[in-house]
Amino acid sequence: MKLYMVPLAPNPTKVMLYIAERAELGVDMGVEQIVVNTVKGRHREPAHLARNPFGTVPVLELDDGGYLVESLAIIEYLEDRFPDGRLLSGGPERRGKARDVERIVDLRVAGPMGQYGHAKNSPLGRPPDPQKAAQMEASLQTPLNYLEDLLADGRPLLLGESVSIADCTLQASLQFLRFVEADLFGERERLRAWDERYRQRPAARSVLRW
């Protein structure tokens, strides 16, 4: 299998962190990672559009020649294909909570964080948009408070003692914010401590560049 990705972009980074976390658990999925240079517009070239007509990354090329083009679908496929040591484990309540937190992080945190970063200091050269940045910052307050409260019982990671897909999703977005020199945590010290802990994990050290 081949993963077409960009090291900084949040969605590819989420998948890369997931693969690295599974590797730390002893699961080698044999996924070759190939950089698509979006700065040079390689994602809009025919070769990449043949893989993904939407021109986005990540893209997972399967052994049968098919493609998956959504980050969560890629992760869920890898969970199913390599079930031993999967991150989405436990009973239905735990799995349901893990899915719930991941969706909250992806839809209510990661998306607005990405828009905020581009509005403040876009690496793609987009002009600053203070009004958009303010809107995104306001929309992030409730979901960030939710995550801060999750950590109130002293758990080291978002779902407890074991790493989850939600941890990968959140950290991927935070790397993008670090790159654009933005900080949205405010006085949320538990989230700051979680961030520091996660970045010390071997999987994070092998993937994160900022």
The total number of structural domains in the chain stands at: 2
- pLDDT for 192 equals 98
Residue 24 placed within a domain = yes
196 with 96, same domain: the answer is yes
Residues 76 and 138 in one domain: no
Is residue 29 domain-resident? yes
Q: What predicted TM-score, i.e. pTM, was given to this entire model? A: 0.95
61 and 150 part of one domain: no
Per-residue pLDDT at 123? 84
Query: In the chain, what percentage of residues exceed pLDDT 90?
Result: 95
Mean pLDDT over residues 4-29, rounded? 97
Shared-domain flag, residues 6 and 49: yes
Query: What is the structure's pLDDT at 39?
Result: 85
Instruction: Let me know whether 54 and 136 are in one domain.
Output: no
Q: Are residues 96 and 196 in the same domain?
A: yes
User: Which tokens hold the place of 164?
Assistant: 């989850």
The predicted pLDDT at position 121 comes to 87
Of 82, 76, 32, the closest CA to residue 165 belongs to 76
Range with lowest mean pLDDT among 77-81, 85-89, 148-152:
85-89
Query: Residues 137-173: pLDDT tens digits?
Result: 999 999 999 999 999 999 999 999 999 999 999 999 9
Check: CB of residue 128 under 8 Å from CB of residue 13: no
Query: In the structure encoding, which two tokens stand for residue 119, read together?
Result: 């509005």
Contact 100, 134 (CB under 8 A): no
60-69 pLDDT per residue, tens: 999 999 999 9
b/e 27-51 (16+ beta carbons within 10 angstroms → b):
beeebebeebebeeebbeeeebeeb
Nearest residue to 98 via CA among 161, 180, 23, 26: 161
What CA–CA distance (Å, rounded) separates 53 from 45? Answer: 10
For residue 16, the one-letter residue type is M
pLDDT band at 30 (very low <50, low <70, confident <90, very high): very high
Q: Both 102 and 195 in a single domain?
A: yes
CATH of the domain at 9: 3.40.30.10
Spatial contact of 21 and 203, defined as CB atoms under 8 Å apart? yes
Check whether residue 150 and residue 100 sit in a common domain. Answer: yes
Q: For residue 109, what is the domain's CATH number? A: 1.20.1050.10
Q: Which of 48, 81, 114 is the last residue of a domain?
A: 81
Query: Among 54, 81, 108, where does a domain finish?
Result: 81
Structural domain includes residue 207: no
Tell me if 57 is assigned to some domain.
Answer: yes
How many percent of the chain have pLDDT more than 70? 100
pLDDT band (50, 70, 90) for residue 126: confident
**End residue of a domain, out of 62, 81, 100:** 81
Q: Which domain holds residue 165?
A: 92-201
The pLDDT of residue 122 is: 85
What is the average pLDDT across 174-190? 95
Over 90: is that where the pLDDT of 125 sits? no
In a domain? residue 210: no
Cβ contacts of 165 within 8 Å, gap of 6 or more: 14, 18, 72, 75, 87, 88, 98, 102
Indicate if 15 and 116 belong to the same structural domain: no
Question: Does 21 fall in a domain?
Answer: yes
If asked whether residues 14 and 40 sit together in one domain, one would say yes
User: Dmax of the chain from CA atoms?
Assistant: 50
